Every structure is written in C-alpha cells, then in structure tokens.
Amino acid sequence: MKFVLPKGRLYKDSVDILRRSGVEIPEKPERALIWSNGRDEFLLSRAYDVPVYVEHGIDVGIAGSDVVEERESDVFIPLELPFGKCRLSLAMPRSKVVSPEDMDGFRIATKYVNVTRKFFSRIGVEVEIIKLHGSVELAPRVGIADAIVDIVETGNTLKANGLVEVAKIMDVSALLLVNRISQKVLFEEINSLIMRIRRVVYGT
Ligand code: PRP
C-alpha cells in the first residue's frame, strides 16, 4: 500500500499510530520524500496537500480535519484519530473586538479561504479574504487585515500577537483518509488496517 504522511506537527503521532497498528515504517532517509519497507511505500507531503494525494490515488493518508474541510477532497474517512486536537477560529486584535455579524467589509487573512468564505456566507456577512500561507497572525499586526482565521491549539500564538478568539469555526482532529477506489480494490488490506488502528485507538 501507499501511505502519505503529513510533514510538521502531525508527523510523529501519525508514524507512531501506524507503527503501533503493525505497519512497518522504516526511519526516513534524510531528505527523502518517498521511502519504502520493500512492500509499502511512504510519502512525505505538506499537511495541506495530504487529502489531495489521497483523492488522486494514494491509498491511505493522515491529515487534519481543517485541511480536509478546506480542500473539500472526495476521500473516505473511516476514523478520527486521537491527536492533532485543536480548533479553527476567527481572531482579531484585543483592542478592536467586534462580533462576526459586525464584520461587513472586513479583511480576513487566512490560509483557509473556503472555510472562511462559507463561515461568513452562512451568517450573511460580506468580507474580503486575503490568502496567506502561514504566520497569518502577522497580518492584523501590520494592518493588512482586520482579523484572521487560523488554527488555535494552546492559544499562545494569538496571545503573543495581541489577538483574541471571537468565534470558533470548527473543532479539529487528525483523520485517517482512504482513497475511494483503493477502499474497494484493496478492501481486505484496508479493512484490516482500519480495524488494527481502531483497536489501538479505541481498544475495540
Ligand atoms: C499553527 C497556527 C498558529 C499556531 C497555533 O502554526 O497557524 O500559528 O500553530 O498554535 P498555538 O495556539 O499553540 O500557539 P504552525 O506552527 O503549524 O505554522 P504555520 O504558521 O505555518 O501554519
């Protein structure tokens, strides 16, 4: 099978849970983006791209629900995993707090353009979205945005940048993703993997 693993904060827990479920993942050779145990292949991708790889043919992946929601990827999601817990929130400078309903005409910096657009259209508020690829907390500090939509885990990054949460948009967790065709073609193998992971995670 082919697995795509997320770079960054989910990497260690992802490797750990798969290993504990019986997938033999060798140490990644330095700088390699693809490596193998002689039977399975492992790919290392930006966390943001994992659902895209799975949608387009990689059998199994692990990604955050924030990214799956943003990418609107058509993948099978058999399990929520017990790590990567955080939330996607709307935040703004402490000194200028208003409620989301009063943000008409505001500029919102985020890498979650789709989720943000949907959130504001649900409440009937028109905003301008500025797409950034990271460190979005910077945008309100330097005045190019009024608010941000970003991941909050401990809240330390917001605090350090004088920002406060004004609304939680969604709870986030790591998810197991399976390619829809692989799920049918490799049914036995994938089903067995899902059951082994479920046993490790939930003990059932
Ligand atoms: C994420 C997120 C926030 C921070 C939140 O950034 O974008 O900046 O973590 O965590 P906290 O609430 O515990 O402070 P990450 O380090 O993943 O990098 P990024 O800025 O490239 O998204």
Domain boundaries, the chain: 2-84+173-202, 86-171
Give the whole-angstrom CA distance, residue 104 versus residue 133: 24
Q: Whose CA is nearest to atom 1 of ligand 1?
A: 151
CB 130 within 8 A of CB 109: yes
What is the whole-number distance in angstroms between the Cα of residue 59 and the centre of ligand 1?
28
State the distance from the centre of ligand 1 to the C-alpha of 99, rounded, in angstroms. Answer: 23
Residue 153 pLDDT class (50, 70, 90 cuts): very high
What pTM was computed for the model? 0.95
Q: Average pLDDT, whole number, for the chain?
A: 97
Domain 86-171 classified CATH 3.30.230.10?
no
Query: Is 134's C-beta closer than 6 angstroms to any atom of ligand 1?
Result: yes
Q: What is the pLDDT of residues 98-128, one digit of tens each?
A: 999 999 999 999 999 999 999 999 999 999 9
**Tokens representing 120?**
């504001």
Task: State in words which class domain 2-84+173-202 has.
Answer: alpha beta
Assign 159 a pLDDT band (cuts: 50, 70, 90): very high
pLDDT tens readout for residues 51-101: 999 999 999 999 999 999 999 999 999 999 999 999 999 999 999 999 999
